[in-house]
Copies of this chain bind each other. A is one copy, B any other.
Amino acid sequence: MKALVLLGCPETPSQTPMAVYVFNKLTKMGYDTTIAANPAASKLVRVSDPEGFYNLNIVDLERLLGEINEGDYDLLVGFVHKDAAASFFVTFEQLLNTKSLALVFSRDADEVAEFVNMIEESGSNAKIVAVRAFHNPSPIKVKFDKAIKEFE
């Protein structure tokens, strides 16, 4: 089983810690897991595991988008905290056509609703977890833990 974790722009302080957390969780669930991120988001994740204990497998988001095909991954998990990230998530979901989980978060409740709408209006079948959160990762972590159980 293969899982793909999509990161958005690196502005939000919760994303990098949660990226390691999600990678580790999926790996323990038996998924061969890949993180796709832009260069700045990738650097943040790499710096946070200086000894490489987590064996993080990180690839370039844009390059992967050009190469990916249906069936390449069995699970897609996306961090959605910008409209660009919502667009990427929807695009990857359509290309992969596999079970998907969107982690939507923002410090602004209107943005949370907007990103959820963007995903739903694309005709997505993804499970969507949405929460107001910015620099406290706990709400995202709790909702992710609950949602991912449905994929076990």
Contacts and interface: CB of A to CB of B under 8 A. Distances in A.
Contact of A47 (B10, B53, B54, B137): B137
A144 to B, nearest CB: 11
A146 interface: no
A51 B56 CA distance: 13
A124 B24 CA distance: 42
A108 interface: no
Contacts of A47: 14, 17-18, 20-21, 137, 141
Given A21-B50, A51-B53, A43 B138 contact: yes
A55 to B, nearest CB: 11
B49 A135 contact: no
B136 A40 contact: yes
Given A24-B51, A47-B141, 12 more contacts: A10-B13, A11-B135, A13-B16, A13-B44, A16-B16, A16-B48, A17-B44, A20-B48, A21-B47, A21-B48, A21-B50, A24-B50
